[in-house]
Amino acid sequence: MANKTPLYEEHVADGGKLVDFAGWDMPINYGSQMEEHRQVRTDAGMFDVSHMTVVDLTGDRTREFLRYLLANNVDRLKDSGKALYSCMLNESGGVIDDLIVYFLQEDFFRMVVNAGTHDKDIAWLEKQATAFDVAVTERPELAMIAVQGPHARDKTLPLLSDSARAAASELKPFFGAFDGDWFIARTGYTGEDGFEIVLPATEAETFWQKLRSAGVKPTGLGARDTLRLEAGMNLYGSDMDESTSPLEAALGWTVAWEPSERDFIGRAALEQQRQAGTTQKLVGLLLEGKGVLRNHQKVIAAGAGEGEITSGSFSPTLQRAIAFARVPKATGDTCQVDIRGKLLTARVVKPPFVRNGAAQIEL
């Protein structure tokens, strides 16, 4: 039996096409993925992301634990509520998962990890936390709704309780705040402004209905994928996994090398890789002509070798095919992509493709 989020009945009522996603029945779209994508870029859309895993980490040594656990440095988190994006690595520098961690108090951090990696993440966290006496507590009784788009905040704020609204309206980007059982963060996975709201599962349906009445359209996982791809954000399992290091996944910026004395899991392997030099890199591709780039298509870089598309799709905003591809380090400004036996030219570009509704690359 597939897991169902607290919003399952709402998805059915909204005409959502449900598919299995990491063992969860989730809506891929509610009719038109393109329309849902546009909705988020121009107005506001909402996503049920309750399948994601919320984990609370508590104990006096939580910061010390995270300093060792994560490739990014939690010491960058000085103000309460501040969020940090990081990879969690294994000893060989491979990515176990990517995640967001919020600093709340010295003895309380909240982490949100992927649904598809739930079991191994929890096992890893528990294993590593023991030495630091940090308690790892999953919060399955909570739901999570992401409201994203240029009008997401305006449409969400009036629906919140007075105290929650007061806290949420003050949030700077990449900060979160508690209001009772509710946790509201100004974060997301679309390249647009908005909130990610963690709330009791029992209140999720009512809040979803209020958002819908306020004109926030339900948006499926299909649009979530094209939005994040346009925004230049990696997807775990497609763009990186345990066989790739952050340095080969365009995530070098999330590795905090300084201070050099900070030991973190995977550091030695990453140092070695940095010293030796990586042979591959993750780049953005823009298809020059018509067609669609898809995951696993072969990429041929003249004189450099071959690579592969890790995430490919049609960009509804740019009306062109875009992708991330893992290619040889020496790949130049263009490459060829094998689409059903035909070699089509693609330009190598630096993501993001789209931010805050606007194209970031020249077509």
Partner 1 sequence: MSNIPVELKYAKSHEWARINDDGSVTVGISDTAQDQLGDMVFIEVPEVGQTLTAEEACAVVESVKAASDVYAPLGGEVVEVNEGLADSPETVNNDAYGEGWIFRLEPAAVGELEALMDADAYEAFLASEDH
Which residues form the interface with partner 1 (CB under 8 A)?
Answer: 28-29, 32-35, 37, 222, 226, 290-292, 294, 313-314, 316, 321, 340
β-bridge partners, 285: 323, 348
CA dist., res. 169 & res. 167, Å (int) = 6
Q: Which CB sits closer to partner 1, 78 or 290?
A: 290
Contact predicate 125/137, CB 8 Å: no
Q: What angle do CA 135, 198, 96 make, to 5 degrees?
A: 55
Contact predicate 335/302, CB 8 Å: yes
CA 116 centroid distance within chain: 12
CB of 247 to partner 1, least distance (A): 31
Contact predicate 242/120, CB 8 Å: no
Structure tokens at 210: 């209020």
Q: Which CB sits closer to partner 1, 19 or 214?
A: 19
Question: 43 — phi, psi (to 5°)?
Answer: -145, -100
The Cβ of residue 278 has, within 10 Å, a number of other Cβ atoms equal to 13
Q: Which CB sits closer to partner 1, 171 or 292?
A: 292
Q: Which CB sits closer to partner 1, 41 or 186?
A: 41
Q: Which CB sits closer to partner 1, 102 or 314?
A: 314
Contact predicate 323/285, CB 8 Å: yes
Q: Which amino acid is at 303?
A: G
CB of 317 to partner 1, least distance (A): 12
DSSP structural state of residue 171: P
CB of 308 to partner 1, least distance (A): 16
Q: Which CB sits closer to partner 1, 259 or 341?
A: 341
Question: 309 — phi, psi (to 5°)?
Answer: -75, 130
Q: Which amino acid is at 129?
A: A
CB of 67 to partner 1, least distance (A): 41
CB of 318 to partner 1, least distance (A): 11
CB of 31 to partner 1, least distance (A): 9
Q: Which CB sits closer to partner 1, 213 or 319?
A: 319
CB of 339 to partner 1, least distance (A): 9
